[in-house]
Amino acid sequence: MALAQNNYKDVLEAERKEQLQKKSAAEEAHKGLDKPAAERRRDQQACNGARTYYQAVCGSAHVPKSGSRQCAEADLWVRQSC
């Protein structure tokens, strides 16, 4: 009976170690994913173009016509460019 208990404990211990190794491998694979993406340089000409397009589509910054889909896309373009 004692031999069966020791064998059972050995099997459980081996399974636990195997699961820890799998978990460690998964954590290593996802290690760099929590870091933010590298900042890219701002292209001033693209930013100015996006702002001009935004004002043409949405109106001025003080009185936006933000209900349209084009305005929402222009806003996204400004956020990405600037």
Instruction: Answer whether residue 47 shows pLDDT above 70.
Output: yes
Instruction: Answer whether residue 43 shows pLDDT above 80.
Output: yes
Q: Which two tokens stand for residue 49?
A: 């173009």
Instruction: Answer whether residue 49 shows pLDDT above 90.
Output: yes
CB 76 within 8 A of CB 68: no
pLDDT band at 5; cut points 50, 70, 90: low
pLDDT digits (tens, 9 = 90+) for 22-33: 877 777 777 766
pTM of the model: 0.45
